[in-house]
Amino acid sequence: MKQLLTLARRSQIRLCLNQAIRLASSAVAYVSPFTTPATLSPPPPHILPYDNAAETVNSKLKKLENPDSRFLKYASPHPKLASHDHILSAPETRVTTLPNGLRVATESNLSAKTATVGVWIDAGSRFESDSTNGTAHFLEHMLFKGTERRSRRELEEEIENIGGQLNAYTSREHITLYAKVLDTNVNQALDILADVFQNSEFREARINEERNVILREMQEVEGEIQEVVLDHLHATAFQHTPLGRTILGPAENIKSITRVDLQNFIKNHFTAPRTVIAAAGAVKHEEFVEQVKESFTNLSSDSTSTSQLVVEEPANFTGAEVRIINDDLPLAQFAVAFEGASSTDPDSVALMVMQTMLGSWNKSVGGGKHMGSELAQKVAISELAESIMTFNTNYKDTGLFGIYAVAKPDCLDDLAHAITYAVTKLAYQVSEDDVTRARNQLKSSLLLNMNGTTPVAEDIGRQLLTYGRRIPTAELFARIDAVDASTVKYVANKYIYDKDMAISAIGPIQELPDYNWFRRRTYWNRY
């Protein structure tokens, strides 16, 4: 029995050897370098395992050369321009200008169950003097402290009873007050806003009470390091100009603002041509306009525009820095900014795309190592910062374009190098794929920010004050799509290349490079 098994094994081995020799000879003949393609032998009938592996690799390579369209749709390394035909069906923004210059604008969505109604005034802290700085913000606080028709308690109870939300805010160029209510309470909300806007009472007791509230608010703001850094950035960038003042104003002004100051500000700035009444959601334009005519009857028709006021006191940019060393803070926070474009400058659209290209990143949010922004990738991989944020702020005659960062003290030098390299690179080397990706991201974020009646109403009011009209989404997207790599490089050369900058920093910032170091890296020497 053992002999039979031995003979069987030997015969099997001989068979395998003979087969291997035949395959080897045929393979040599098939791939011989001395044979021409016409005389090549056909492939062997039996494929070895490594031949199967080679075929698999070749098929995968072909798939990479001709990828599946479904793959490109969701995860293409070369992004394509997204279609936005669907936005052409967006609701129309209707605008009516009354004889006194007051503009009424609505975007109706009758299927909605809520609406936002608001008043936008083309006035803010930049239209104050040194002695009255803080009046606009003080006035915003006083608007809800009672009117000739409603006491403070009645006003608050009326809003609470209808389940509405009443809010207000002040910026450097605008004052806004708005109400968000159910569709059945739009008329009541408009009546409340008209009463507050035109008939507010400024009693001395209320004014003195509000001083303490604003002073406490100032202390809270001073605890927000980001707010302090950005306020100092404005102060050093727009030195000795109204735009460099803070919105809250200095403490000595808050303690000395009087009832006369508030009334004078209203008389000079709360005029019909500088005011927009906007609504979005469950509103009908014709009915809304008629009620505005009945409610807003006490506005001055003074035609003095904010543009005329800005010309008298323009905001001139100054390259400078302000640094406050505070070793008690665990992290350093700083902002680096160039002079940007005004709101109506065509370059503002390209700067929006550039802002998206540089991106923002926070350590508490995952995905930084795989973001489209090269700066965000470098910061995330090397752990150079806790967070970075690119900003592009536009005003009537100027702007600020820059980056705000929070980092550990020992990372400041490397982080400063990464920021300056990424920003200056926009003037030299820009990829069309990066621009396309940024355009898609920018358009997506603009649409996502319009989710709800309140953002829509705010967008209507702000754009009417800024541009004199509401730019349709299709037009805005067309302007964004017109930005390509050459446009980005042109705008970067105009605003960044070899330009002065403003720097504001707070915290343990001893390792942050000096101003001249930053200034020298606004250009590259290439030979």
Which tokens belong to 56? Answer: 């698999």
| HEC readout, 289-318 | HHHHHHHCCCCECCCCCHHHHHHHCCCCCC
Looking at the fold, whether 167 and 305 belong to one and the same domain comes out as: yes
Specify the pLDDT at position 8: 46
Report which secondary-structure segment, H or E, holds 116. Answer: strand 114-121
Sign of CA dihedral 300, 301, 307, 309: negative
- From 107, 210, 386, 458, the catalytic residue: 210
The answer to the question of residue 79 being in a domain is: no
Looking at the fold, whether 308 and 324 belong to one and the same domain comes out as: no
| Structure confidence by residue, pLDDT tens digits, 185-209 | 999 999 999 999 999 888 888 999 9
Is 286 designated active site?
no
Q: Is 221's pLDDT higher than 70? A: yes
Looking at the fold, whether 274 and 412 belong to one and the same domain comes out as: no
Looking at the fold, whether 60 and 120 belong to one and the same domain comes out as: no
Is 140 designated active site?
yes
Specify the pLDDT at position 346: 93
| Segments of 375-444 assigned E as strands | 387-394, 399-407
Specify the pLDDT at position 40: 45
Specify the pLDDT at position 313: 81
Residues facing residue 178 across a β-bridge: 118, 167
Q: Where are the alpha helices (DSSP H) in 164-258?
A: 186-199, 204-223, 225-237, 251-256
The answer to the question of residue 206 being in a domain is: yes
347-358 vs 473-481: helix crossing angle, rounded to 10? 70
Of the CA atoms within 13 Å of residue 283, those in its CB half-sphere come to 37
Q: Is 324's pLDDT higher than 90? A: yes
* 271 secondary structure, DSSP code: B
Specify the pLDDT at position 65: 53
The answer to the question of residue 106 being in a domain is: yes
| Structure confidence by residue, pLDDT tens digits, 371-395 | 888 999 899 989 999 999 999 999 9
Task: Using a pLDDT cut of 70, give the percent of the chain over it.
Answer: 82
The answer to the question of residue 125 being in a domain is: yes
Q: Is 115's pLDDT higher than 80? A: yes
How far is 120 from 100, CA to CA, in rounded Å?
16
Which tokens belong to 517? Answer: 């170091």
Q: How many CB atoms lie within 10 A of CB 88?
A: 10
The answer to the question of residue 285 being in a domain is: yes
412-425 vs 374-382: helix crossing angle, rounded to 10? 160
How far is 235 from 506, CA to CA, in rounded Å?
14
Looking at the fold, whether 278 and 342 belong to one and the same domain comes out as: no
Q: Is 422's pLDDT higher than 80? A: yes
Residues facing residue 179 across a β-bridge: 117, 166
| Structure confidence by residue, pLDDT tens digits, 14-65 | 545 455 445 444 444 434 333 444 444 454 555 555 556 667 666 665 655 5
Query: Of 11-20, 116-125, 358-367, which gets the smallest average pLDDT?
Result: 11-20
The helix/strand/coil state of 166 is strand
Looking at the fold, whether 57 and 129 belong to one and the same domain comes out as: no
The answer to the question of residue 82 being in a domain is: no
Exposure string over 49-85, b if 16+ CB within 10 A, otherwise e = eeeeeeeeeeeeeeeeeeeeeeeeeeeeeebeeeebe
Q: Averaged over 277-284, what is the pLDDT?
A: 95
How many separate domains does the chain show? 3
Specify the pLDDT at position 4: 43
Looking at the fold, whether 41 and 106 belong to one and the same domain comes out as: no
The answer to the question of residue 80 being in a domain is: no
Q: Determine the residue type at 11.
A: S
Q: Is 365's pLDDT higher than 50? A: yes
Give the C-alpha distances (Å, rounded to integers) separating 508 from 15, 144, 456.
80, 42, 41
The helix/strand/coil state of 170 is strand
- From 107, 128, 140, 386, the catalytic residue: 140
The answer to the question of residue 73 being in a domain is: no
| Domain enclosing residue 293, as ranges | 90-312
Looking at the fold, whether 303 and 336 belong to one and the same domain comes out as: no
How far is 305 from 303, CA to CA, in rounded Å?
6
Task: Point out the domain boundary residue: 292, 312, 332.
Answer: 312
Q: Determine the residue type at 8.
A: A
Looking at the fold, whether 273 and 158 belong to one and the same domain comes out as: yes
Looking at the fold, whether 504 and 475 belong to one and the same domain comes out as: yes
Specify the pLDDT at position 146: 87
State the CATH number of the domain containing residue 494. 3.30.830.10
Highest mean pLDDT among 54-63, 290-299, 357-366: 290-299
Q: Is 445's pLDDT higher than 60? A: yes
| Structure confidence by residue, pLDDT tens digits, 466-524 | 999 999 998 999 999 999 999 999 999 999 999 999 999 999 999 999 999 999 999 98
How far is 270 from 250, CA to CA, in rounded Å?
23
Looking at the fold, whether 306 and 351 belong to one and the same domain comes out as: no
What is the pLDDT of the chain when averaged over all its residues? 86
Q: Determine the residue type at 480.
A: I
pTM: 0.82
Looking at the fold, whether 26 and 100 belong to one and the same domain comes out as: no
* 274 secondary structure, DSSP code: G
Task: Point out the domain boundary residue: 277, 312, 347.
Answer: 312
Task: Point out the domain boundary residue: 50, 65, 80.
Answer: 65
Q: Averaged over 356-385, what is the pLDDT?
A: 87
Specify the pLDDT at position 71: 43
